[in-house]
A and B are shown apart, each in its own frame.
Chain A
């Protein structure tokens, strides 16, 4: 290591004359998208991404990265490359208006559909459709899940690419609501400081 500053570490090294090398792969993991069901019956919502060497490790790492506070009843992950994204819209235009073509009927695979109904917020699970590919899934969704509410962006994921939480695994989160010590507001730091200053005065 030449420096603790990563920018210095990233500088290309001065090479030897006549040496031609293949480009070195980046020394980092790929990303996986994480979806969380905050309470039973609530739709799954996209929470963010984790780095991991594979889908199972992504599931293991996602659990504490995204569900260590508040409540959670289930979680799932998929490779970022398995998420297909519609064009983004703004104003009064629905993303479904930018999905053209005629539906070629239901395909063999099940796809999950997610809607972004407020810009800057998370994509929320809207339902499932059967289709043969991502575009077909969005066309199916246009016909069955487009309820007139403005949707700025649509995601779709083929269901068999997802690492779901099994029924037995749902017990992971049983004690989570008790872990209030992870919630900064639970310390009531302001109240304690106020009390301390009042005693001092």
Chain B
């Protein structure tokens, strides 16, 4: 049971940490001041959520959050590949934010009923943060998804590109059945179904078209430590200051 639970906690925490870091790369470069602040704040929220999850892992016998976050190599991370992809243009960052945060908010919503109390408590605590993140994502997608030919075309291109990676969020795990049986988590298949319905409902309010999921091969492997070439440079940069003096007090 602990193995399956740790697996769940690690993939969630690693997703939040890596995407939090990626989104923070927009700080000071966002498309307008107000959006720069909003995106940076949400990046901080994500890193805070990863800290909460690593802290639960520490209580289960794993190393402390700083060690776990800053000293592992890429092949020891369990995030999906979607979150490690470079930011590129803002249209891609927005689409990723929309696709990922929709899944994340639904995942935590499901976890509010988890039989594992620490996760249920965390899920209830951060519900408001996730509610804002999805409001932010949905409002932008609805706005730019129907605004001008350029905005819809760019979002559509990013949506088509991101979708195989987004399906990688729901990569199956051999140990997952235990989580389902013990009432810890309903599982990735159930989550993906809810996610697709939510994504479809937002996209249908725009001029964007959801690619046919049957024709897409999901980009899997992230949960098993198989990553793109983009993750290791991100980790090197993220841990650069920490590694100068791991004992420093901040």
Contacts and interface: CB of A to CB of B under 8 A. Distances in A.
Interface range on chain B: under 10, 10 to 19, 20 to 34, or 35 or more? 20 to 34
Interface string A172-191: 11110001011000000000
Contacts of A60: 38, 135-136, 139-140
A17 interface: no
Nearest to B137: A60
Given A53-B143, A54-B143, A68 B132 contact: no
Interface in A24-73: 29, 50-54, 56-57, 60-65, 68
A171 interface: yes
A65 B38 contact: yes
A56 B140 CA distance: 10
A53 B23 CA distance: 23
Contact of B139 (A51, A56, A174): A56
A52 B37 CA distance: 14
A52 B34 contact: yes
A160 interface: no
A173 B32 CA distance: 23
A169 interface: yes
| B interface, over-half SS | helix
B68 interface: no
Contacts of B34: 50-52, 61-62, 64-65
B55 to A, nearest CB: 13
B38 A173 contact: no
A172 to B, nearest CB: 5
A59 B214 CA distance: 37
B44 interface: yes
Contacts of A174: 125, 127-129
Interface in A74-97: none
| A interface, over-half SS | helix
Given A53-B143, A63-B38, A169 B131 contact: yes
Given A53-B143, A171-B131, A65 B37 contact: yes
A57 B125 contact: no
A53 B132 CA distance: 19
Contact of B132 (A29, A57, A172, A181): A172
A170 B131 CA distance: 10
A50 B37 CA distance: 11
B113 interface: no
A44 B44 CA distance: 27
B36 to A, nearest CB: 9
Contact of A173 (B42, B125, B128, B139): B128
Given A64-B38, A68-B37, A51 B129 contact: no
Interface string B53-85: 000000000000000000000000000000000
26 contacts: A50-B34, A51-B32, A56-B139, A60-B38, A60-B135, A62-B34, A64-B34, A64-B38, A64-B42, A65-B33, A68-B37, A68-B41, A169-B131, A170-B128, A171-B127, A171-B128, A171-B131, A172-B129, A172-B131, A173-B128, A174-B128, A174-B129, A175-B125, A175-B126, A181-B44, A192-B249
Interface of A: 29, 50-54, 56-57, 60-65, 68, 169-175, 179, 181-182, 192
Interface of B: 32-35, 37-38, 41-42, 44, 48, 125-129, 131-132, 135-136, 139-140, 143, 147, 249
